[in-house]
C-alpha cells in the first residue's frame, strides 16, 4: 500500500510538471503584450518619450524577451528571478495579479472562503437528499413516487442552472420576497457571532436551493441506477430468501455494492468544494472562485488564472489518488495490499 502510494505520488510530480509547463506555454501563446496592457490605463497621462521608457522597462522587468523555458523556470521557482532569488510556485509564491495589483494569495483568499462555505452546505444538502431519494426510488422502482421523482429529476437535469436561478429569483425573491435577490449578507449590517452566520445563511438560501435543485437530477439517478443493479444481484435474492430483514438487505448488502460506482462521484463532489460555480456566483453576485477565474480571464490577468488552474490541477491529482484508494476501502476485491 505504502509503495503504491509513493509510486502514485511520483507519477503526480511528473504529471504536475508536465501540466504546468503545458499550461504555462498555452497561456503564453495568447496574443497579448502584458507590458502594453499594464500601461494602457495611464497612456493618456504619459508623454510619448516617457511611455516608451516605461514600456521598455516593464518588458525588461517582466522578462518578456527571455525564452519561454527561462520564464517558466522562474515562475515555477526553479531559476532565480531578476533580483537573484528563487521565488516561484515551489517556494510558495504564486505570483502577482496584474489586474488586482496584489499578490495572488491575497486576491484568492476571500473568494476561496466564500466558495468553500457555499459548497460545503450545497454538497451536504445535495448528498443528504439525493442518496436517500435514490435509494428510496430504487427500492420502490416503478411506483408513483419513483415515476414522479424521475420526471422531476429529468426536468432539473435538463434545465440549465442559469434558467433555474432566474426562475427561483423571480419566484422567491421578486414575487414572494422570501429571500434577497443576491449578495452574501445584509449590506452594512455589521452582524457578529451567530447572527452573522444566520444572516449569511439567509442570503445563501436561494443559491443553495438552486445548486441543490440543479444537482438533484444527476446524483439521484446515479444512486437509483446503482441501487437497482445491486438489488438485482444474486446474493440479495439469497439474503431475502434466507429471511434477512429488508433494511439490512438494503443498507448493508445492497447499498455497499451500490457505493462502488458512485464513490468516485461523491468524492469528486467533496473535492469540488474548492472550485466555484461560475453561473451561480455571477447570478447571485457572490465573490467566489468561479467568478474570480472568469474575471481574471476577462481582464487578461493570466498569472492569476494560471495560478488558479495549477491549484485545481493539484486538487485533481490528489482527488484521483483519494478516489482510487477509496475504492479499496469500499470494495475489498480491489485493495492494493492484497
Partner 1 sequence: MKKLFALLLALLLLVGCSNGGGSNNEGGEQPSGNEAVTNQIIYGSTTELNGDLGNAWWGNNASDATVRELIDDYSVITTDQGGELVENQSVTTGVTSVENEDGTKTFTVGIKDGLKYNNGEPITAADYVAYALVAYSPALKEAGGKVTANSVKGALEYQNGEVNYISGIRLLDDHTYSITINKDDPTDPDTHFLPYYFDATYASLSPLYLPMYASAALTVKDDGEGVYLDGGSLVASELDASRTIYEGRVSAGPYQLESLDLGSLTATLTINPNYAGNFEGQKPSVEKILIVKAVQETMMDQLETGAIDFLSALTDGSEVQRALDMEDTGNFKTVHYERNGYGAIFFQCDFGPTQFPEVRHAVAYLLDRNEFANTFCQGFGSVVDGPYGLAMWMYKDSKDTLASTLNSYTYSVESAVEELKAGGWTLNADGTDYVDGSGLVRYKEVTPEEAGDYAYNVTLADGRVLMPLHIEWSSSEGNSVSELLAVMLANGDQTKEAGMEINQNIMSFADLLNYYYRDSSVDPKYGVKTYGMYNLATNFTALYDQSYSYTVDPELLAMGYNTFFSVDNPLLDQLSMDMVYGVEAGDDKAYLDTWVAFIQEWNRYLPAVPLYSNVYYDAMNAKINNLECNSLFDFQKAVVYATVD
Candidate segments 3-11, 17-25, 35-43, 320-328, binder of partner 1 by CB under 8 A: 35-43
Q: Find the part of the chain contacting partner 1 (CB under 8 A) among 5-13, 168-176, 231-239, 243-251.
A: 168-176
> Taking contact as CB under 8 A, which single stretch among the options 43-51, 150-158, 266-274, 316-324 is the one that binds partner 1?
43-51
Choice between 30 and 68, CB closer to partner 1 = 30
The residue from 6, 22, 36, 237 that contacts partner 1 (CB under 8 A) is 36
Exactly one of 1, 6, 26, 30 binds partner 1 (CB under 8 A); that residue is 30
Query: Which residue of 4, 15, 16, 33 would you call a contact of partner 1, by CB under 8 A?
Result: 33
- Residues 259-288 touching partner 1, rule: CB under 8 A, are 282-285, 287
Choice from 205, 263, 322, 336 touching partner 1 (CB under 8 A): 205
The C-alpha cell 472562503 sits at 113
Q: Which of 23, 79, 105, 209 binds partner 1 (CB under 8 A)?
A: 209
Q: Which is nearer to partner 1, 148 or 170 (CB)?
A: 170
Q: Is 198 in the site for partner 1 (CB under 8 A)?
A: yes
Instruction: Establish if 321 lies at the interface with partner 1 (CB under 8 A).
Output: no
Q: Does 105 participate in binding partner 1 (rule CB under 8 A)?
A: no
Distance CA 181, CA 187 (A): 13
Q: How far is the CB of 8 from partner 1 (least distance, A)?
A: 36
User: What are the cell numbers at 279?
Assistant: 453561473
When the beta carbons of 73 and 108 are compared against partner 1, the nearer one is 108
Write out the binding residues for partner 1, residues 73-102 only, by CB under 8 A: 99-102
2, 3, 14, 48: residue in contact with partner 1 (rule CB under 8 A): 48
Q: How far is CA 252 from CA 124, 191, 247, in A?
A: 22, 46, 8
CB of 242 to partner 1, least distance (A): 26
Cell numbers standing for residue 301: 490577468
Question: What's the closest the beta carbon of residue 300 comes to partner 1, in angstroms?
Answer: 6
Asked if 192 touches partner 1 (CB under 8 A), the answer is no
Q: Does 332 bind partner 1 (CB under 8 A)?
A: no
Closer to partner 1 at the Cβ: 8 or 102? Answer: 102
Measured in residues, the chain has a length of 338
Q: What is the 3-state secondary structure (H, E, C) of the chain?
A: CHHHHHHHHHHHHHHHHHHHHHHHHHHHHCCCCHHHHHHHCCHHHCCHHHHHHHHHHHHHHHCCCCCHHHHHHHHHCCCCCCCCCCCCHHHCCCCEECCCCEEHHHHHHHHHHHHHHHHHHHHHHHHHHHHHHHHHHHHCCCCHHHHHHHHHHHHHHHCCHHHHHHHHHHHHHHHCCCCCCCCCCCCCCCCCHHHHHHHHHHHHHHHHHHHHHHHHHHHHHHHHHHHHHHHCCHHHHHHHHCCCCHHHHHHHHHHHHHHHHHHHHHHHHHHHHHCCCHHHHHHCCCCCHHHHHHHHHHCCCHHHHHHHHHHHHHHHHHHHHHHHHHHHHHCHHHCCCC
Residue 271 CA to residue 249 CA, distance in Å, equals 31
- Which residue in the set 62, 63, 157, 183 belongs to the binding site for partner 1 (CB under 8 A)? 183
Q: Quick one: which of 24, 72, 93, 136 contacts partner 1 (CB under 8 A)?
A: 136
Which of 76, 93, 104, 114 contacts partner 1 by CB under 8 A? Answer: 114
Amino acid at each position: 500500500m505504502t509503495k503504491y502510494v509513493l509510486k502514485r505520488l511520483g507519477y503526480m510530480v511528473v504529471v504536475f510538471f508536465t501540466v504546468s509547463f503545458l499550461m504555462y506555454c498555452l497561456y503564453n501563446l495568447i496574443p497579448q503584450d502584458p507590458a502594453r496592457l499594464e500601461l494602457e490605463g495611464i497612456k493618456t497621462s504619459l508623454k510619448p518619450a516617457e511611455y516608451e521608457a516605461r514600456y521598455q522597462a516593464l518588458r525588461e522587468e517582466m522578462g518578456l524577451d527571455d525564452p519561454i523555458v527561462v520564464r517558466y523556470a522562474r515562475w515555477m521557482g526553479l531559476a532565480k528571478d531578476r533580483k537573484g532569488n528563487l521565488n516561484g510556485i515551489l517556494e510558495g509564491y504564486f505570483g502577482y495579479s496584474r489586474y488586482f495589483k496584489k499578490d495572488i494569495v491575497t486576491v484568492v483568499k476571500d473568494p476561496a472562503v466564500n466558495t468553500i462555505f457555499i459548497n460545503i452546505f450545497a454538497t451536504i444538502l445535495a448528498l443528504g437528499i439525493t442518496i436517500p431519494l435514490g435509494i428510496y426510488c430504487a427500492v420502490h422502482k416503478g411506483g408513483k413516487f419513483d415515476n414522479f421523482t424521475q420526471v422531476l429529476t429529468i426536468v432539473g437535469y435538463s434545465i440549465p442552472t442559469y434558467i433555474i436561478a432566474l426562475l427561483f429569483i423571480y419566484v422567491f425573491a421578486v414575487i414572494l420576497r422570501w429571500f434577497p435577490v443576491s449578495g452574501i449578507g445584509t449590506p452594512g449590517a455589521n452582524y457578529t457571532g451567530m447572527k452573522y452566520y444566520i444572516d449569511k445563511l439567509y442570503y445563501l438560501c436561494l443559491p443553495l436551493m438552486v445548486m441543490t435543485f440543479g444537482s438533484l437530477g444527476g446524483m439521484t439517478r446515479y444512486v437509483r441506477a446503482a441501487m437497482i443493479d445491486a438489488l438485482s444481484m444474486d446474493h440479495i435474492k439469497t439474503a431475502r430468501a434466507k429471511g434477512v430483514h429488508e433494511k439490512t438487505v438494503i443498507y448493508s448488502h445492497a447499498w455497499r455494492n451500490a457505493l462502488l460506482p458512485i464513490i468516485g462521484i461523491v468524492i469528486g463532489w467533496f473535492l469540488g468544494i474548492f472550485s466555484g460555480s461560475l453561473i451561480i456566483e455571477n447570478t447571485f453576485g457572490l465573490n467566489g472562485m468561479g467568478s474570480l477565474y472568469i474575471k481574471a480571464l476577462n481582464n487578461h490577468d493570466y498569472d492569476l488564472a494560471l495560478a488558479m488552474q495549477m491549484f485545481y490541477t493539484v486538487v485533481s491529482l490528489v482527488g484521483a489518488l483519494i478516489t482510487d484508494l477509496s475504492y479499496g476501502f469500499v470494495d475489498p476485491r480491489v485493495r492494493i495490499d492484497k
